[in-house]
C-alpha cells in the first residue's frame, strides 16, 4: 500500500519512488489534482478508480475513500493512493494513513513536491529572497467546514515574509480582509497561479486589496508578499506554452514525442490511433530470415519498429559479420545502437527515395542479396528500386499496424486541441477512420512528405511538414511555426548525444 504524492501537476515532478510504486500497482485510487498522465505509468491491467476530490467537493466522502483503501489492500492487492502535491500537506493523507494503521495494514508514504513551493517557482516567484523575504508561511484557505476558523490570519500578517495560501479561492475576500486587518498594506504585491506547473498555467499579478476582485478560479495558489511582484518567467515563456498537441503514435512509443512537446511547454494529449503487433504469421518469416542473416549482403530496416523486431530475433551479433545494415533514419539507427549494432548507411533524408539514392550497386564479390524487413503494408519504392539496381530482394513483414478504437475519454480529450501530429501514414488513415476530417485542430503537422501526402489524399490540409523527418525535427518545426507563423526559419534539430553519425555512402560502380 502506497500513499504517493503526485506533485503539483507537471508529470516530470513525480519522484522516482512514486514512479516505481505506480509500476507495481494493481489498483490506483486518484483524485482531481492528480496528474492524469501519471496513470499511464501503472500497468495496463491495473484498476483505476477516480474519487474526484477537489477543494470544496468530493464525489466520494473521505470515510468511504478510507474504507476503499482498506478493502483493496485486504484483498492482497498493491494499492497506490495517488494524491496531488504531497500526501501530508493539506491532502488528508494523514487521515488515510491512520485508517490503514488502524486496520493493521502496512503502508509506505512517498512524499511529493508540494505546490506551495513548486507553483510559485513555475510562475517565476521565489518564496524566499535575501533582503526582502527570509521566511514563508503556508496556510490552507479551506479548513474543516464543521469547525470554526482556526487560522489566525491577523497573526500571519504580522509574521513578515511570504504567505502562501492553498485552496483559498472560495474564501479569498474574507482572507484579504483579515490580512489587511492584521496590518498588511493594501498595495502589498499578491499573485494567484491557477493550474500551476501545467501547460494551462495562468498567473494573475495584483495587489492584496485588489486580488479578490480578479477573475480567479480554483485550483489556485495565492502568494502574498514582496516576492509576488517578481516575474522571473521561464515556464510560461516556452515556445509551445499552452498549446494542446495531440500525439497519435502507438501508446508504447508516444512518450518520446510527448516528452519533447512538454519540454517546449505544450500540453501533450496522447490519443493513439494505431497499435504495433506481430505480422499475421506471428513473425515466423522474419525469424527464418534472421536465422539466415549471414547469407545477405545488406539488411535494410525502414523503421524503429522493424529494427526492434529484427534485433529481438538476432541471437548473436556475430551472425552479421560481413553484413552491412542500412537504416532509414536516426530513430531506426538508435534502436540498432541499443543492441550494439551500427548502421553502415543512413540517408541524408529519411525517406525511401533518399535511401535508394545512397544505396550502392552490387559488385562482383557480392551475393547480391538484400533482406528488407518492414511493415506489412508499405510502399514498393524500396524493393522495386533495389531490384532495378541489380539486387535480389527478400521482403519480410516485421510487424503490422492495427487501428485503435479511441475511448470516450480520448474523444473528449481532443476537443479544443490546437495541433495534431502524424508520424506515419497509418496514423493518418486511422485518425480519419476514428474521428473523420471535421474534428481536426487548427494545425496539422506531419513528420515528412510521405505522411503529408497521405493526409492530403485523405482530405486533410497540412500546415507543418518537418524538414528533418524525425521526432525532434517535427517538434522543431512546430516551434518555428509558433515563433514565425508566416515565415518559418530553419532550426538546427536536437539530437541524442549517442545517436549515429549521418552520412551518405557513395554508390559503388
Point out the residues that are catalytic: 31, 53, 167
What is the residue whose three cell numbers read 466520494? 60
Element holding 208 (H helix, E strand): none
Provide the 8-state DSSP code for 294: G
Q: Would you say 310 and 336 are in contact if contact means Cβ atoms under 8 Å apart?
A: no
DSSP 8-state secondary structure symbol assigned to residue 499: S
Q: What angle do CA 434, 436, 441 make, to 5 degrees?
A: 105
CA 277 to chain centre: 22
Distance, CA of 383 to CA of 395 (rounded, Å): 7
What is the rounded CA–CA span in Å between residue 330 and residue 471?
A: 10
Three-state DSSP class for residue 176: helix
Coil, strand or helix at 213: helix
Handedness of CA 485, 248, 14, 194 (dihedral sign): positive
On whether the CB atoms of residues 488 and 480 are closer than 8 A, the answer is yes
Q: What is the CA radius of gyration of the chain?
A: 28
The residue whose grid cell reads 510521405 is 450
| Distance in Å from the first CA to the final CA of the chain | 67
71, 64 contact by CB (below 8 A)? no
Report whether 351 contacts 470 (CB < 8 A): no
CA-CA distances (angstroms) from residue 146 to 143, 334, 384?
9, 59, 77
Q: Cα(282)–Cα(397) distance, rounded to whole angstroms?
A: 10
Q: What is the 3-state secondary structure (H, E, C) of 330-362?
A: HHHHHHHHHCCCCCCEECCCCCHHHHHHHCCCC
Amino acid at each position: 500500500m502506497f500513499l504517493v504524492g503526485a506533485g503539483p501537476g507537471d508529470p516530470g515532478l513525480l519522484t522516482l519512488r512514486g514512479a516505481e510504486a505506480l509500476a507495481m500497482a494493481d489498483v490506483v485510487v486518484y483524485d482531481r489534482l492528480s496528474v492524469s498522465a501519471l496513470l499511464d505509468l501503472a500497468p495496463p491491467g491495473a484498476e483505476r478508480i477516480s474519487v474526484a476530490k477537489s477543494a470544496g467537493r468530493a464525489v466520494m466522502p473521505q470515510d468511504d475513500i478510507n474504507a476503499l483503501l482498506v478493502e483493496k489492500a485486504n484483498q492482497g492487492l498493491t494499492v497506490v493512493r495517488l494524491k496531488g502535491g504531497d500526501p501530508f500537506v493539506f491532502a488528508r493523507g494523514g487521515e488515510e494513513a491512520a485508517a490503514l494503521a488502524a486496520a493493521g495494514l502496512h503502508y509506505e508514504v512517498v512524499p511529493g513536491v508540494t505546490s506551495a513551493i513548486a507553483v510559485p517557482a513555475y510562475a517565476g516567484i521565489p518564496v524566499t529572497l535575501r533582503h526582502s523575504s527570509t521566511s514563508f508561511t503556508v496556510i490552507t484557505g479551506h479548513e474543516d467546514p464543521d469547525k470554526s476558523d482556526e487560522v489566525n490570519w491577523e497573526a500571519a500578517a504580522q509574521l513578515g515574509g511570504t504567505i502562501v495560501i492553498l485552496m483559498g479561492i472560495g474564501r479569498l475576500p474574507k482572507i484579504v480582509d483579515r490580512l489587511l486587518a492584521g496590518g498588511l498594506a493594501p498595495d502589498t504585491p499578491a499573485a494567484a497561479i491557477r493550474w500551476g506547473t501545467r501547460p494551462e498555467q495562468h498567473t494573475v499579478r495584483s495587489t492584496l486589496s485588489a486580488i479578490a476582485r480578479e477573475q480567479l478560479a480554483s485550483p489556485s495558489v495565492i502568494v502574498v508578499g514582496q516576492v509576488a511582484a517578481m516575474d522571473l518567467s521561464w515556464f510560461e515563456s516556452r515556445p509551445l506554452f499552452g498549446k494542446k498537441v495531440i500525439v497519435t503514435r502507438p501508446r508504447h512509443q508516444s512518450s518520446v514525442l510527448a516528452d519533447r512537446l512538454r519540454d517546449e511547454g505544450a500540453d501533450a494529449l496522447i490519443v493513439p490511433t494505431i497499435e504495433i503487433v506481430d505480422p499475421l504469421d506471428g513473425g515466423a518469416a522474419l525469424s527464418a530470415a534472421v536465422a539466415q542473416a549471414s547469407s545477405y549482403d545488406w539488411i535494410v530496416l525502414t523503421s524503429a519498429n522493424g529494427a526492434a523486431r529484427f534485433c529481438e530475433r538476432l541471437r548473436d551479433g556475430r551472425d552479421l559479420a560481413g553484413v552491412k545494415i542500412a537504416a532509414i533514419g536516426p530513430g531506426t539507427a538508435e534502436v540498432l545502437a541499443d543492441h550494439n549494432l551500427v548502421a553502415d548507411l543512413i540517408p541524408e533524408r529519411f525517406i525511401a527515395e533518399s535511401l535508394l539514392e545512397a544505396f550502392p550497386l552490387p559488385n562482383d564479390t557480392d551475393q547480391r542479396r538484400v533482406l528488407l524487413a518492414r511493415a506489412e503494408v508499405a510502399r514498393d519504392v524500396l524493393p522495386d528500386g533495389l531490384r532495378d539496381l541489380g539486387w535480389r530482394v527478400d521482403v519480410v513483414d516485421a510487424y503490422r499496424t492495427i487501428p485503435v478504437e479511441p475511448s470516450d475519454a480520448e474523444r473528449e480529450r481532443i476537443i479544443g486541441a490546437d495541433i495534431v501530429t502524424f508520424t506515419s501514414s497509418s496514423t493518418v488513415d486511422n485518425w480519419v477512420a476514428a474521428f473523420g476530417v471535421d474534428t481536426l485542430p487548427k494545425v496539422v503537422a506531419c513528420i515528412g512528405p510521405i505522411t503529408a501526402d497521405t493526409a492530403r489524399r485523405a482530405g486533410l490540409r497540412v500546415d507543418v511538414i518537418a524538414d528533418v523527418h524525425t521526432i525532434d525535427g517535427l517538434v522543431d518545426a512546430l516551434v518555428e511555426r509558433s515563433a514565425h507563423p508566416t515565415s518559418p526559419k530553419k532550426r538546427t534539430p536536437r539530437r541524442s548525444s549517442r545517436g549515429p553519425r549521418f552520412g551518405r555512402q557513395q554508390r559503388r560502380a
